[in-house]
Amino acid sequence: QQQVKQSPQSLIVQKGGISIINCAYENTAFDYFPWYQQFPGKGPALLIAIRPDVSEKKEGRFTISFNKSAKQFSLHIMDSQPGDSATYFCAASTEGAQKLVFGQGTRLTINP
Amino acid sequence: KAGVTQTPRYLIKTRGQQVTLSCSPISGHRSVSWYQQTPGQGLQFLFEYFSETQRNKGNFPGRFSGRQFSNSRSEMNVSTLELGDSALYLCASSLAGRTTYGYTFGSGTRLTVV
């Protein structure tokens, strides 16, 4: 019930294309869904987050789509750039929780 | 504003030894959480400390322990190291331990057990 499943494991996208990463969760108590971006040698950094009372949140080129009934959420990166090449993790937690449950990660490569 | 500082950045230890990792949170943050990151298991929660008290613990053996000092700095200890303990150990600091606000990770300590 604590799992968050993320796909794909790796993704190659051409510069200017759309990158899409998907996650699914089981625990219906989760009410906070962040995405983290991690570059080699660095810790994860919060990219964008959503709560289940909205179906979509957009920040610049990054959009989270959320489907509460399907218990799925996804990250869309529009106009993908080589600088977006990194590992992306989805995560989930409950309000007031002291820990995040992470997906397995997606290694994204943007080809120039 | 300084970020989360983890020391050392790299460590090489031998099986059976013990190791202590350190994490200095962002000034004013009272909560420190620890995660283990491996290629196979991904990011897994180890434990969380707030005001020197462990409030939450993940599913790791008792060889993994930690503590927090009055200045909020935290240490994590792994005893009787095994090859499988090789990982990137990350700490995250926050004001009150809530993942939903100001949850910031350090760059981690890369532990290699040989």
pLDDT tens column, A2-25? 699 999 999 999 999 999 999 999
Burial (CB < 10 A; 0-12, 13-18, 19+), residue B16, is exposed
Beta-strand ranges (E) seen in chain A are 4-7, 10-14, 19-25, 33-38, 45-50, 56-59, 62-67, 72-77, 86-92, 101-102, 106-111
pLDDT at A1: 57
Say yes or no for a CB contact (<8 Å) between A43 and B99.
Answer: no
pLDDT at A2: 67
pLDDT at A96: 72
Q: Distance, in angstroms, between B107 CA and closest chain A CA?
A: 4
pLDDT at B99: 81
What residue ranges of chain B have pLDDT lower than 70?
1
CA B8 to mean position of chain CA atoms: 12
pLDDT at B57: 94
Give the model confidence (pLDDT) of A37-47 as tens digits. Answer: 999 999 999 99
pLDDT at B15: 98
Those residues of chain A whose CB sits closer than 8 Å to some CB in chain B are 32, 34, 36, 41-46, 49, 89, 91, 93, 95-105
pLDDT at B1: 65
Say yes or no for a CB contact (<8 Å) between A93 and B99.
Answer: yes
Mean pLDDT of chain A: 95
pLDDT at B87: 98
Say yes or no for a CB contact (<8 Å) between B99 and A98.
Answer: yes
CA neighbor of A61 nearest in space, from A110, A23, A9 = A110
Say yes or no for a CB contact (<8 Å) between A98 and B107.
Answer: no
Q: How confident is the model at residue A98 (pLDDT cuts 50, 70, 90)?
A: confident
Distance CA B75, CA B68 (A): 6
Q: Are strands B104-105 and B64-68 parallel, antiparallel or unpaired?
A: unpaired
Say yes or no for a CB contact (<8 Å) between A45 and B48.
Answer: no
Which residue of chain B is at minimal alpha-carbon distance from A107? B39
Q: How far apart are the first and last CA of chain B?
A: 37
Give the model confidence (pLDDT) of A52-70 as tens digits. Answer: 999 999 999 999 999 999 9
